[in-house]
Amino acid sequence: MTGSKDRENAQMLSQKILIPQILSLCQQGQTASAISTATGLPIEEVRGIIAEASARSRILFIFMDREKPATVIDVCGVTQSVQIINLTDNMLSRAFGVRENPDWNDYEDFLESRCMPRTRHGIRDELRELGVDTYDPFQIIEKTAGRVYGDGQWLRRMSQEWITQYDSIRESAPNETELRRRILALLKQESGKVNDERNESVIL
């Protein structure tokens, strides 16, 4: 019994040690089969590790043009995948303009475009005021919501609860038009909840 437990612990330790290598290979575009061969882990375990890490690293933003939702931006840091759904036909309001299938580099460029210029005089003082150690666009946007002086566009990060509802809508919507309609309805419902919470906080 003890020997079986020891083998189980050794297997878990080996898997834990290999996780960074697995995720690194995944980011390089390697398939689960190739990663399994490289690490010696069963392909089911490799897929499980990638799936779990992907769920943890997933982020979903709504790019807003003032108070109007313009683009859903659904990203995964592990697989470096980017999926978008445009909620408006106005190219100037969309996060990526005419581009329908942005890649990870496009996403990183977009994030930086929603920050102060990294070459701005006094940038270190600005970062310090934000509580950010280095010029990291993601960390900056977490503080500023991607608001840039001169326009009314910004990024709204969605909760895990909202993402779960969004995933359900994506699976059930029969076509793109209905998908957009349902997403906009869900966002309107979420905005109503936020407003109710604000009103309650004022009353209290």
- Which region among 51-60, 66-75, 105-114, 162-171 has the lowest average model confidence (pLDDT)? 51-60
State what percent of residues in the chain have pLDDT above 90: 60
The pLDDT-based confidence of 144 (bands split at 50, 70, 90) is: very high
Distance CA 202, CA 200 (A): 5
Q: Is the separation of the CB atoms in 119 and 28 below 8 Å?
A: no
Highest mean predicted confidence (pLDDT) among 22-26, 101-105, 147-151, 199-203: 101-105
Output the pLDDT for position 187: 95
Residue 118 has pLDDT above 70, yes or no: yes
- The CA-CA-CA angle for residues 71, 117, 115, to 5°, reads 30
Distance CA 88, CA 85 (A): 9
Output the pLDDT for position 6: 47
Output the pLDDT for position 8: 53
CB-hemisphere CA count at 13 Å for 96? 21
Per-residue model confidence as pLDDT tens digits over 16-59: 778 788 778 887 888 888 988 888 888 888 788 877 877 778 99
Residue 84 has pLDDT above 90, yes or no: yes
Output the pLDDT for position 99: 94
- Which region among 30-34, 72-76, 121-125, 197-201 has the lowest average model confidence (pLDDT)? 197-201
pLDDT, averaged across the chain: 85
Output the pLDDT for position 197: 40
